Structure 1
């Protein structure tokens, strides 16, 4: 269960995008805020149930949709076509294993030469698009363990 300070952080994040605070939203954000967590809706539902939370699968789906629409989480497809969600809010890119489908976060602070703001400007200048966000994914085969 989040501490009071974390709980207020979730309230503030939800309020900042015009959403009211609910316990399901807080629990979903808490679950997704961890690095290297990219569950499908069903995996998220099962993870919350294992933590002892009484939540319905339809509630998970509904809140994932609302949180994504308001920019608090990111939705993407893995190499196998499954819809996954990411709430890790430190700037990062994804490393995706094309064989296993595993997705790892790589914080941008570990890639100091990668200038996403410069890339956004360059694309905007060359295309006329107003680029709002950049998502980068590196696909390949992860290290043998």
Structure 2
């Protein structure tokens, strides 16, 4: 019953943004639905293959782009410049470990003192750009590497 409920959740999320349900999209969303996982496309591909799913790397890339463009995934660069994907689309920031490369989510409510809005407005006024969103990157050393 839980699998059916989960599958329906993915179908409704896809439908809500005007996308057709496909098995690769469902599997990508399910894989990225786990908290604090931020794979590269290749890591995602290998993770899906390890689960026994028959999926091509080009299918992974194509669907990541479609899901990102629809707002169902977040795309960002890690400290080495690798493109990573995040299924947690509520506004949040990331902690990056400079030694092991670990990435951890930081929720906005955990940073009560940080308000990116004044920074966004100042940059817009200074540059003439429209800044769609401001993200904070925190880089340091994780507890495991300390």
What TM-score do you get using the length of structure 1 for normalisation? Answer: 0.83
Measured in 2, the distance between the counterparts of 1:5 and 1:107 equals 26
Measured in 1, the distance between the counterparts of 2:123 and 2:77 equals 23
Ranges in structure 2 where 5+ consecutive residues have no aligned partner? none
Ranges in structure 1 where 5+ consecutive residues have no aligned partner? none
Measured in 2, the distance between the counterparts of 1:112 and 1:85 equals 25
Which region of structure 1 is more displaced relative to structure 2, 37-46 or 92-101?
A: 92-101
Give the corresponding residue for 2:47: 47
Secondary structure (helix, strand or coil) at the match of 2:134 reads coil
Which region of structure 1 is more displaced relative to structure 2, 68-77 or 125-134?
A: 125-134
Measured in 2, the distance between the counterparts of 1:94 and 1:46 equals 23
User: Structure 1 121/24 Cα, relative in aligned 2: closer, same or farther at 3 Å?
Assistant: same
Give the corresponding residue for 1:109: 109
Aligned residue pairs total 145
Measured in 2, the distance between the counterparts of 1:127 and 1:25 equals 38
Secondary structure (helix, strand or coil) at the match of 1:3 reads helix
Give the corresponding residue for 1:134: 134
Q: Is the 8 A contact 2:74 2:89 kept in 1?
A: no
1:35 aligns with 2:29: no
RMSD of aligned alpha carbons: 2.3
Give the corresponding residue for 2:23: 23
Structure 1 position 85, deviation (Å): 1.0
Give the corresponding residue for 1:5: 5
Where do 4+ consecutive residues of structure 1 move more than 6 Å?
none
